[in-house]
Amino acid sequence: MELHVPMVIAANMMDEVIESKTSIDIKKLSEEVAKEINAYLLPPMPFSTCYEHKGTKGCARLRPSTFQLFLTDLILDLRDQGFKKFIVMIGHGGIFIAGPAIRELNA
């Protein structure tokens, strides 16, 4: 069984934190892909590495180095559990570190 890891971002609107259209779309797409290929689906992770959202109430932001370590630790732990294939779906264009992190895991 493959593992599907959707990554999404929560967006801020007024004083409430809501899911952005991007996160809703990636969540739905992730569910469809996981069902189609019979994959185990982790819950969406509601944070990003976007510095342009710094100070925006309700937007959880990680430093790129923290995100890279998080993603690496997550995938390595899941490999230890027996998962062999991973699909990481990024629901926000600002997570630029994901590509290098995934390339390093594939090396």
Give the Cα separation of 19 and 24 in Å (integer): 6
Name the pTM for this structure: 0.73
- Tens digit of pLDDT per residue, the chain (107 long)? 445 455 543 333 334 444 455 556 778 888 888 888 888 888 888 777 877 777 777 777 888 899 899 889 988 998 898 888 888 888 766 678 888 888 888 88
Give the Cα separation of 20 and 15 in Å (integer): 14
Tell me the residue type at 64: P
